[in-house]
Chains A and B, each alone.
Chain A
Amino acid sequence: MYVVVVGAGEVGTAIATSLSENHDVAVVDTDESRVESLVYDADVLGVEGDGTDLDVLEEANVEDADMVIASTDADETNIIVCSTAKAVSSAFTISRVKSAKYLRTWQHSDVAFGVDHMVGTNVLTAETIVRVVGLPAARDVQLFADGLVQMAEFTIPESSPVAGMTVREADQYDSLTFAAVLGEDDVVVPRGETVLSVGDAVIVIGSPESVQTFSHALAPDSDGTPNVLVVGGSDVGYHTARLLQERGLKPRLVERDHDRARELAELLEGTTVLESDATDREFLEREHIEAVDIVVTVLENDEKNLLASLIAKSAGAKRAIAVVDSAEYVDLFETVGVDAAINPRETTAEEITRFTRERHAENVAIIETDRAEVLEITVDEDSVLAGRPIRESIADLPDGVVVGAITRNGEFVVPRGDTVVEVGDHVIVFVDAASLAEATSKL
């Protein structure tokens, strides 16, 4: 496949780098140095220029492209890149946009602007946040098979009753699979005797109910409807509050700017909008921050998010979820006390990766930027899984592959060693990054 990526920022770079392993990639950006460094770091064709300019796209051989990915920071640019590409090629076009208004227009027809797939960054980020809000102790949550299967990444909290147990002891759930335990720098496919230690990241795959039950077992003091405080009235903040509202929660949202606060109060009927500075301790006391279960910080920069999260936690908030714009800060945030750091660019790159899979992976979750992936695959006759018990087929697959869940005709099937996978089943598998290429070709 020949892919043209327009925009060599964090998202474009991440996508181009990951695609260049298996595909031919051209990268277009107005910034020469970015193009150049990407050409050296990854095996791609670099074109310096404006991606909305047909001449520039032609220089990148857009007419031969199978896919064009517009991933610059400007919505309008991305949209025009897609339209331009459509005018001269039959490439599948993917556009990244921040604004939900373009996303809505596109969803109305699925072809608007010449865009074949649109990824709404802000909405996507908000959806990710809301999924994490729903599960105590979760750092990442993804849905598969139309929501029948959930994948979640948890960090074992200090006070957790599960801490120190072996997987066999902790595994009291019918439809839950322990897919992996991520240590400092290794990925362990757990056996019965694997011990779950404080600080370990555990990947589980199962039915939403069992994942929910497991998450409450990890943090038993977090029952009931969570009391959520959203800090920051950015577009992501707005969508987060809106989605929480739609789930029946009554979130509070803090916004410092008077006019924006008023606007949000008009848009969000079920949310209490507070006009204040979330780093003002008096304000936090007045609003009983100690009774807040989850603080979500979506302010305009990483430093403010970190500060607001830490202040809220020191004032008594039980959990903090922060948006982190720079991928390199994600680990730092989680080290100093933010319970879940969500990087919109990473989320976007993940979303775009779905469409770049060689075969029939329908849904992809990327674990910790690049350490592993969880894939949803529809089994066809060529798959090593087809028509065999899992125990047999797993022997033909590389190490680090775990079948996490199966759905058949819209029903959840618990995967056991003797479960026979049928053609047409949806299989959700965990794959270690090291085995990814080999595994995807066999599945």
Chain B
Amino acid sequence: MPWTPSTYVDYRVSVAYVGTVLKYIGVTPLFPLALALYYGEDPLPFLAGSVVMVGLGALLERADTGGELGNREAFLLVSLSWLVVPLVGTVPYLVAGTGTVAAPVDALFESMSGFTTTGATVLGVISVERHGHAMLMWRQLTQWLGGMGILVLMVAILPKLSVGGAQVINQEAPGLDLEKLTPRIQETARALWAIYAAFTVLAAAVYYALNVAGVAPEMDLYNAVAHALTTLPTGGFSPKGRSVEAFSPVVQWAVIPFMLVAGTNFALFWYVLEGEPERLTRNTEFRSYLLAVVGFGAVVSAVLFAGVGLAETPTNVGTIPGNVEDALRQGLFQVVAIVTTTGYASMDFNTWDASAQTILLFAYFLGGSAGSAAGSIKIVRWVLVKRAVGRSLFTSVHPDAVRAIRLEDVVDEETIRDVLVFVLLFLGLFAASTMLLYLDSFRASEVTLSGLEAMSVAIATLGNIGPGFGVVGPMNSFEPFTNASKLYMVFLMWIGRLEVLSVLVILTPSFWQR
């Protein structure tokens, strides 16, 4: 029977493309390699990483049938890439064999957490002393690559993805629908990456300038670059065990706007550059996003200022209660870090009591804007859910009314339905995952989760946020979990980054049938 790609999934085409992706990603370990040589650290892990990526990539490319990259092949390509790249990304960790990350499951967890910009870590001790500049830079680099999307990058550089590229980006880029900024998809991908890279450079410059100005002694050039590479992808990996708490308040204030930028739809910045700044300022999602940040920030800051949200024996609270600047900074920083799914910590919010943590837990579900580097459900979906609910209430009073739901333009009913399904699916997955992780933590003795902790773990990984509460707090490690739990979390991070449906689709039988 002849093979017809239009009726069956031509999986070999997807596999070949994954090979191409791997081959190009294989160049990236050369950056930490150079750093290793500069600092006199072991260059072998990165050399091995590069060789394995390029080699495996070349091998997979041979699967090519010359078929076309159709809709289903694009689905498969995106889902597979986001599985294979993190898998191969473990090579440097495994070869180096330093610390907890040397175990295969832990290495995969760290690699997946990196590429999906989750920022959850299994590293118990995160420091340059323990792991080396180059190794930690690889970890940070995975986040930067994952932030704007490795496939958006591929579309930007590979001419052969000019056809099918739009579908690929649509599957990978978070949000409702791809917004083509230019007539050619490759130009759009380049524009997005250019804006992303430019903001990264700007962030590094600002961070380092604070050091030069003498107000941020800890922020040397390495740290400035490391934090820029993990701020813009809303990743949250820091080469400091105490995250951004290790830096002066001035640095913390400086990080906040860059996290906000990273959680904004990058297409809007494109319009600003094109001379249409009102596209940003009038954008419904952008306004709701700022409103959510300010609202949640104000509540958390007020709680911190009053001191009611703090546990009875604060370990590292500093001078928060009664100190306006402190309360405002910590409240705003933590809310922005969670809403944008960056996951940096400006203080150990484990020292907050359950009431303040619960407020923060709601922020975990917001997410940044569509078309940004942020994860979780995303503000625009909540706006649409709110409007859909409002419409249902209205039409129950006026049964004959016909109403369109709009953002800047009318949103078609299919999109509304997809959004409702997504939110339902996301919340369902969150609930089921909470239960599974909770139960598994009782099976093993190292960690036993409370209900709030289990919820925070589930949403922190599914929403690509990073730290949770309690045992998985911002200063703690995910290392103590069982391998089963960790592998499940790897799955959650994977499907969370690809917005659930893209992965679930390839897991359904009908995807593989005619």
Question: Which residues from chain B contact A264 at a C-beta distance below 8 Å?
Answer: 402
**Is there contact, CB below 8 Å, between B400 and A276?**
yes
**Is there contact, CB below 8 Å, between A272 and B398?**
yes
The proximity string for B residues 386-424 relative to A, scoring 1 for CB distances below 8 Å and 0 otherwise, is 000000000000111111101000100000000000000
Say yes or no for A261: interface residue by CB 8 A criterion: yes
Q: Which of A262, A269, A286 contacts B402 (CB 8 A)?
A: A262
**Is there contact, CB below 8 Å, between A275 and B400?**
yes
In the complex, what distance in Å separates the CA atom of A261 from the CA atom of B399?
Answer: 14
**Is there contact, CB below 8 Å, between A274 and B404?**
no
Q: Which of B401, B406, B410 contacts A272 (CB 8 A)?
A: B401
Most chain-B Cβ atoms within 10 A of its Cβ — which of A254, A255, A258, A262?
A262
Question: Which residues from chain B contact A254 at a C-beta distance below 8 Å?
Answer: 400
The proximity string for A residues 241-267 relative to B, scoring 1 for CB distances below 8 Å and 0 otherwise, is 000000000000011001001101110
Give 7 A-B contacts (CB < 8 Å), ordered by A residue: A261-B402, A264-B402, A265-B404, A266-B410, A272-B401, A273-B401, A287-B398
List residues of B (240-299) whose CB comes within 8 Å of A's CBs: none
Q: Kindly provide the distance from the CB of A283 to the nearest chain B CB, expressed in whole angstroms.
A: 6
Q: Kindly provide the distance from the CB of B345 to the nearest chain A CB, expressed in whole angstroms.
A: 43
**Is there contact, CB below 8 Å, between A269 and B406?**
yes
Give the top 6 A-B pairs by smallest Cβ distance, nearest first.
A274-B400, A266-B404, A276-B400, A266-B410, A261-B402, A265-B402
B interface residues, Cβ below 8 angstroms from A: 398-404, 406, 410
In the complex, what distance in Å separates the CA atom of A262 from the CA atom of B391?
Answer: 14
Residue of B nearest to A276 (CB): B400
Q: Which of A255, A273, A283, A286 contacts B403 (CB 8 A)?
A: A273
Question: Which residues from chain A contact B402 at a C-beta distance below 8 Å?
Answer: 255, 258, 261-262, 264-265, 273-275
Question: Which residues from chain A contact B410 at a C-beta distance below 8 Å?
Answer: 266
The range of chain A's interface size is: 10 to 19
Residue of B nearest to A253 (CB): B402
In the complex, what distance in Å separates the CA atom of A269 from the CA atom of B410?
Answer: 9
In the complex, what distance in Å separates the CA atom of A219 from the CA atom of B400?
Answer: 32
Question: Which residues from chain B contact A287 at a C-beta distance below 8 Å?
Answer: 398, 400
Question: Which residues from chain A contact B400 at a C-beta distance below 8 Å?
Answer: 254, 274-276, 283, 286-287
List residues of A (268-317) whose CB comes within 8 Å of B's CBs: 269, 272-276, 283, 286-287
Residue of A nearest to B394 (CB): A272
In the complex, what distance in Å separates the CA atom of A272 from the CA atom of B399?
Answer: 12
Most chain-A Cβ atoms within 10 A of its Cβ — which of B400, B401, B404?
B400
Q: Kindly provide the distance from the CB of A359 to the nearest chain B CB, expressed in whole angstroms.
A: 47
In the complex, what distance in Å separates the CA atom of A254 from the CA atom of B410?
Answer: 20
In the complex, what distance in Å separates the CA atom of A299 from the CA atom of B237?
Answer: 64
Residue of A nearest to B409 (CB): A266
In the complex, what distance in Å separates the CA atom of A258 from the CA atom of B404?
Answer: 13
Residue of A nearest to B403 (CB): A265
Question: Which residues from chain B contact A269 at a C-beta distance below 8 Å?
Answer: 406
Residue of B nearest to A269 (CB): B406
Residue of A nearest to B411 (CB): A266
In the complex, what distance in Å separates the CA atom of A275 from the CA atom of B403?
Answer: 10
Residue of A nearest to B413 (CB): A262
In the complex, what distance in Å separates the CA atom of A256 from the CA atom of B401?
Answer: 11
Question: Which residues from chain B contact A274 at a C-beta distance below 8 Å?
Answer: 398, 400-402
Residue of B nearest to A260 (CB): B402
Q: Kindly provide the distance from the CB of A413 to the nearest chain B CB, expressed in whole angstroms.
A: 42
In the complex, what distance in Å separates the CA atom of A262 from the CA atom of B406?
Answer: 13
Q: Kindly provide the distance from the CB of B120 to the nearest chain A CB, expressed in whole angstroms.
A: 43
In the complex, what distance in Å separates the CA atom of A264 from the CA atom of B404?
Answer: 9
Question: Which residues from chain A contact B399 at a C-beta distance below 8 Å?
Answer: 286
Question: Which residues from chain B contact A272 at a C-beta distance below 8 Å?
Answer: 398, 401, 403
In the complex, what distance in Å separates the CA atom of A286 from the CA atom of B404?
Answer: 21
Q: Kindly provide the distance from the CB of A218 to the nearest chain B CB, expressed in whole angstroms.
A: 33
In the complex, what distance in Å separates the CA atom of A383 from the CA atom of B399?
Answer: 62
In the complex, what distance in Å separates the CA atom of A340 from the CA atom of B403?
Answer: 30
In the complex, what distance in Å separates the CA atom of A214 from the CA atom of B348?
Answer: 72
In the complex, what distance in Å separates the CA atom of A269 from the CA atom of B284?
Answer: 15
Q: Kindly provide the distance from the CB of B418 to the nearest chain A CB, expressed in whole angstroms.
A: 18
Q: Kindly provide the distance from the CB of B129 to the nearest chain A CB, expressed in whole angstroms.
A: 60
Q: Kindly provide the distance from the CB of B400 to the nearest chain A CB, expressed in whole angstroms.
A: 4
Question: Which residues from chain A contact B406 at a C-beta distance below 8 Å?
Answer: 266, 269
Most chain-A Cβ atoms within 10 A of its Cβ — which of B398, B399, B404, B410?
B404
Q: Kindly provide the distance from the CB of B394 to the nearest chain A CB, expressed in whole angstroms.
A: 8
The proximity string for A residues 64-98 relative to B, scoring 1 for CB distances below 8 Å and 0 otherwise, is 00000000000000000000000000000000000
Question: Which residues from chain B contact A265 at a C-beta distance below 8 Å?
Answer: 402-404
In the complex, what distance in Å separates the CA atom of A287 from the CA atom of B398?
Answer: 7
Residue of B nearest to A277 (CB): B400
In the complex, what distance in Å separates the CA atom of A121 from the CA atom of B406?
Answer: 30
List residues of A (362-386) whose CB comes within 8 Å of B's CBs: none
In the complex, what distance in Å separates the CA atom of A283 from the CA atom of B400?
Answer: 8
Most chain-B Cβ atoms within 10 A of its Cβ — which of A255, A265, A269?
A265
Question: Which residues from chain A contact B403 at a C-beta distance below 8 Å?
Answer: 265, 272-273
Q: Kindly provide the distance from the CB of B404 to the nearest chain A CB, expressed in whole angstroms.
A: 4
Q: Kindly provide the distance from the CB of B417 to the nearest chain A CB, expressed in whole angstroms.
A: 15
